Amino acid sequence: MTFITDRRLWLLIAGAGAALALASILLTEWLALAPCHLCIFQRLLFMLMAPLALIAAFTSGWAQRISGTLTALAAAGGAATAGFQTWLQAQPEGSVSCLGPEMGPIEHFVEGLGVLQPTLFMATGFCEDVALAILGLSLAQWALLAFLLALGLSLWLLSGTPRALGTLAKNPQPARSFVAFLVTWSFLLLTITGIVLYIVPSGRVAHWTLWTLGGLSRGGWADVHILFGAVFIVAGALHLYYNWKPFKKYLATRVSGHLALKRELVTSLILTVLLTLGALFALPPVSWLFDLNDAAKSLWAQDAEQRPPYARAERTPLPVLAQRLGLDLDAMVTALEQAGIRIDEPRTNLEQLARAHGTTPAALFALIPKPETRGPRSEARGPKSSE
């Protein structure tokens, strides 16, 4: 008997749709959230996916294909809606809105549902607002991920591919090969991203200069590293599962009826402990690796213009930046505008201006006239003259 079957996968989609629809309703009530029209529409699609996938689970033939296709269409519509809302929320505040001069078909449809059942379908918020984020992702992003997973699984079930994954137990060689390659590619990407992160400039310098490599910022490289770190952990666990018997032989041997730990196991464990202690107490030769890392990062900041006056200065509003550094705000604005930098919002910052004009905060800061002594206003004024 196989554990993973068509029916159980359809039931998984049905259960996920029902759970996510219920979670949407409960979060709205408990946290007093104001759902928008797109949020309500996504809730409705989750509610539709559940019974459709349930029908697909307990039918066969054309009935299953029709209900399964409708499930995939609901997931695709949800992914498109959640993707559009995610795009809206990524735009600068106040620049876009889902509600134009006239309501679209989705808005009209949701308005009608809200009249019939206000508890479930009343829309009171704006689609571009991020009312709640969980683990750094907005609810729209979580919905997008859920819809994409449901869509992929539905299409896979409808494709005619052998569903009973339990057949891998009879012939595990394809799975072993897949896991081995996954471990290899993950290790390769971890190596590449690890080397890049080892030599990238410090966070202050990277943000000040908008540093990128291969189109990825410092944070982008870190995200890829974290992602494939997680993939490597999962793939490593699967690799250990498929190779458990030979792994046990590496651990110990049976001598006179008793298990004796192998010398290689003990030696590797001792080396691991020593390396950990060297890292914790910064002992050589482990500390040399850290010193080399500091030296590599310092190469990016040899020029004083590549270093910010203080951490996250690029995100400080211009009036606050001028106040902290003892600069003349009007002179700052005039110098930037003379260089072709348009300032529409008085409380904008150097990072926003740099991204809008294809330059860096460091380059913009170099255009600003400064007093001889740069620092807080109290220092920039200089010592008082004695009378």
**Three-state secondary structure call for residue 82:** helix
Judge contact between 197 and 239, C-beta under 8 A: no
Q: What is the pLDDT of residue 258?
A: 57
* Domain with residues 6-167, CATH architecture: Up-down Bundle (1.20)
Q: What does the alpha-carbon distance between residue 126 and residue 346 come to, in Å, rounded to a whole number?
A: 26
Q: In which residue are the tokens 């910064």 written?
A: 282
Q: What is the pLDDT of residue 96?
A: 64
CB-CB neighbours of 321 under 10 Å: 21
Q: What is the residue extent of each domain of the chain?
A: 6-167, 172-299, 308-380
Instruction: Walk along the chain (387 residues) and give the pLDDT tens digit of each residue.
Output: 455 678 888 999 999 999 999 998 988 888 888 888 899 999 999 999 999 999 998 988 888 899 999 999 999 999 999 998 888 888 776 666 666 556 778 888 888 888 888 888 888 888 888 878 888 788 889 999 999 999 999 998 888 654 545 555 555 667 788 888 989 999 999 999 999 999 999 888 988 998 888 888 888 898 899 889 988 998 888 888 888 888 777 776 655 555 566 788 888 889 999 999 999 998 999 899 999 988 988 888 777 778 888 888 888 899 999 888 888 888 888 999 898 988 888 788 998 898 888 899 999 999 988 776 444 444 444 444 443
**Cα–Cα nearest to 364, from 219, 212, 327, 302:** 327
Compute the Cα dihedral for 291, 293, 295, 298 and give only its sign: negative
**Cα–Cα nearest to 21, from 133, 136, 150:** 150
Q: What does the alpha-carbon distance between residue 73 and residue 147 come to, in Å, rounded to a whole number?
A: 10
Q: What does the alpha-carbon distance between residue 217 and residue 317 come to, in Å, rounded to a whole number?
A: 22
The token pair at 181 is: 């390659």
